[in-house]
Amino acid sequence: MKRRLVALLGVAVIALAGCGNAQSSTPAAGKQESRAAGKQEARIIPLTGDVAEIVFKLGLADKVVGVDLSAMGLPEARGKKQIGYQRALAAEGILSLKPTVLVGTEDAGPPPVIEQLKGAGVPVVLVPTGAASVDEVPGKIEQVATAVGEPGKGATLAAATKAEIDAAKATVKADAEKPRVAFLYLRGQSKTYQLGGAGTRADAMITAAGGEDAGTTAGVKGFKPITAEAMVDAAPEIILVMKMGLESVGGEKGLLGLPGVAQTPAGKNRRIVALDDLELLGMGPRTGQALAKLVTAFQR
């Protein structure tokens, strides 16, 4: 059972890693939906894990009645009803929980289900993913907070997050040579091993932390399967992974056994950086903390 849950979580997280810059609902719609949610006791369902983390950080865990699989690594999600995986939702299960507002990024889907939920009269708010730049994160937090009726708390959380992001970025040495960093998405249970590149959240994080995305430089857009040739072309000096992914392949030894990894400068020097999945790719309240860790690791 544990392996199955980890595998499902892994499927959810790759969507986090690879999503692009989504467009939010119109401001007017967002305000109307927020007001609608406030007319009765709030029953919130975050449709994606990154949004769930923001909602929990706003102190609204007791008002959340369901979460998707990508949120299950968060302590506040324990005991919550599961609504499935964010890209493969089913309207019936969600509506059975009688939500007053649904909030997610445009990763949530499939589109016909989102339309079905809207047609049922439930306010649905979709916000940008934040994948284009870490500078989008504070605005994302504010939009989520407005959708759930807590704009004041949202402004406070967004300001604190921005301060942490700015502080981390300020520690990047402008005159230092940028290390080549490859983000590898790993899920051993499904034998999914991919190299990230342009348009991913990992790319945005690597860039903000003062690194050069090796996959992007090698011409990768989104993700491509790891091959010996791809790793030689990327030639990373540092390999960046999510902790759950690293564990799924048997740790560092398993990672170095993947095609071409041991032959890269990062593999030869054992320069592997692993962060919590949502901390690294959630583009949420922990983004500044994740950046600070990356800056330190990259400048080592």
DSSP string covering 248-268, please?
A: HTTHHHHHHTSTTGGGSHHHH
Predicted confidence at residue 88, as pLDDT, reads 95
Average pLDDT score over the chain: 89
Position with higher pLDDT, 24 vs 252: 252
Predicted confidence at residue 29, as pLDDT, reads 42
| Helix H or strand E encompassing 201 | helix 201-208
> CB–CB of 297/273 below 8 Å?
yes
Q: What is the pLDDT of residues 246-267, one digit of tens each?
A: 999 999 999 999 999 999 999 9
Predicted confidence at residue 213, as pLDDT, reads 98
| Helix H or strand E encompassing 289 | helix 287-298
Given a cut of 80, whether residue 110 has pLDDT beyond it is yes
How many C-alpha atoms does 280 have within 13 Å on its Cβ side? 25
Q: Single out the residue of 154, 150, 125 nearest to residue 46, CA to CA.
A: 125
Report the distance separating Cα 117 and Cα 245, nearest Å.
33
The three-class DSSP label of residue 186 is strand
CA distances from 223 to 114, 127, 184, 219, 237 (A): 26, 23, 9, 10, 19
* Class at the top of the CATH hierarchy for domain 20-169: alpha beta
| Helix H or strand E encompassing 195 | strand 192-196
Q: What is the pLDDT of residues 192-201, one digit of tens each?
A: 999 999 999 9
Is 180-298 in CATH node 3.40.50.1980? yes
Comma-separated ranges of CATH 3.40.50.1980 domains in the chain: 20-169, 180-298
Strand 192-196 to 223-225 pairing: antiparallel
Alpha helix ranges (H) inside 19-136: 27-37, 49-57, 91-95, 111-119
